[in-house]
Amino acid sequence: MSISYTFKTIQDNLNPEDQRITGYYPRVVSSGTIDKKMMFNAIAQGSAPLRADLERTWSLMEDFIINKLQDGFTINLDHFGKFSITAESRLVQSPNEIRAESIRVKSLTFRASQVANKKLKRAEFERKPKKN
């Protein structure tokens, strides 16, 4: 199987009109979304006990990861990647102006490992035909 792509026109709104950059860049076209249920069914290959084990294990892992992120840890899943959180607050002029209660989680981030990136770099691409 390969990854479908199309081309998107570069929108250059930063340069003056006579100096705008023109061109295209590839854009990945999703083949769809796979949710947990679909993933567990595919991995279990019809085995109900294995599917149930996958669901229980996943639930335990979700809880563990979220709890440890809330404790300030980074979660490193070897050969896959790291999960961490980023924080945000209002802009302050001095660190003394902000309290812990004013800081909130901005997002959960994931950074793929070198091993995962290396495997993904071997992916093949296939140009998706234009719709008429």
CA pair distance 127, 24, nearest whole angstrom = 14
The reply to whether 42 falls in a domain is: yes
Between 68 and 9, name the one with better pLDDT.
68
Kindly state the percentage of the chain with pLDDT values over 70.
99
The reply to whether 102 falls in a domain is: no
Range of the domain at 55: 34-71
The reply to whether 49 falls in a domain is: yes
The reply to whether 58 falls in a domain is: yes
pLDDT(132) > 70? no
pLDDT(131) > 80? no
The reply to whether 100 falls in a domain is: no
Mean pLDDT of the chain: 92
pLDDT attached to residue 108? 96
In contact, 111 and 81? CB cutoff 8 Å: yes
Say what the pTM is: 0.74
pLDDT digits (tens, 9 = 90+) for 67-92: 999 999 999 999 999 999 999 998 88
Hey, what are 125's tokens?
């691409």
pLDDT(18) > 90? no
Q: State the DSSP string of 38-96.
A: HHHHHHHTT-HHHHHHHHHHHHHHHHHHHHHHHTTPPEEETTTEEEEEEEE----SSGG
pLDDT attached to residue 118? 96
The reply to whether 62 falls in a domain is: yes
- Domain count across the chain: 1
The reply to whether 56 falls in a domain is: yes
The reply to whether 129 falls in a domain is: no
